[in-house]
Amino acid sequence: MNEQDFAELAAGAALHALSHDDRVAFDTARRQHPEWEHHVTANVATAAVLADGVADVAPPAGIRSALLARIAVTPQDPAPAAPEAEPDVPGAPGAPARRPRAWRARSWFALAASLALLVGIGWGAAFVNQQLNRPAPVAALEEIRQAPDARTESAAVAGGGEATAYWSPTVGKAVLVLEDFPPLGEDESYQMWLIRDGAAVSAGLVPADDGSGPALLADTPEPGDVLAVTREPEGGSPTGQPTSDPLVAIETP
């Protein structure tokens, strides 16, 4: 074992995340190389400072299952092929047996250690939970913005406010972000429409009722479409068509 391997195991030991075999290897190397002890001291001190600096917060319900579900769909590096056995040579000194090295996949070990540390302190659990449980419009907006063919158009609302549309043909999603729209009554909803070839098709309701926030459209605009927003009865238009004049209309080139 070299010093880099030991340093990685020292990080895992500080987080109590080592397997039995790795723990045995770590303890053996620690006895054989006292000059590497500074890695142990540094990792233990870092873990203690981070843990003491934040109040304890119970991890959100379902965080473990959500993490395992994400790990299950994340591609992993294939396991290294087992070395071919060498033929016995009479009189030759025996080669030392190689112990299992589960920590060869350093990228996975680093990810697991980081997650263990984050979940172990309050802000880490909140951060991981937030990333795994983002609202669909927020996740879609981030995906659209990162696309090479991302498009955006904005338009002002009569009486104040603004609407901005984001969409990407390759991603196949569109998001409308409302800012400072007039407040709705208790029995009203904002409804989005795609006007295509002169016909209005519902694109869904805006989830926020305070005149702000992102909304995921049911369809992606095509060139020449108009994206409009109207004020409708709660739950949407009962006729399937706009019942009021658009508050805003965004043309998509």
Output 66 or 230, whichever has higher pLDDT: 230
Q: Given this model, what pLDDT does residue 135 score?
A: 83
DSSP letter string, 143-157:
HHHTSTT-EEEEEEP
Q: What residue ranges do the domains of the chain occupy?
A: 1-59+103-133, 139-251
Of 165-169, 177-181, 193-197, 242-246, give the lowest mean pLDDT range. Answer: 177-181
What is the SS3 assignment for 174?
Answer: strand
Residue 31 has pLDDT above 80, yes or no: yes
Q: Could you give the CA distance from residue 28 to residue 8 in angstroms, rounded to a whole number? A: 15
Element containing residue 67 per DSSP (H, E): helix 63-72
Q: What is the mean pLDDT of residues 156-162?
A: 85
Of 45-54, 176-185, 223-232, 240-249, give the lowest mean pLDDT range. Answer: 45-54
Q: Given this model, what pLDDT does residue 213 score?
A: 83
- Residue 25 burial (CB count, 10 A): 21
- DSSP state letter for 238: S
φ, ψ dihedrals at 5, nearest 5°? -60, -45
Q: Could you give the CA distance from residue 226 to residue 15 in angstroms, rounded to a whole number? A: 55
CATH class entry, domain 139-251 = mainly beta
The edge-to-edge listing of strands for the beta sheet with 248-251 is: 199-205, 188-196, 226-233, 248-251
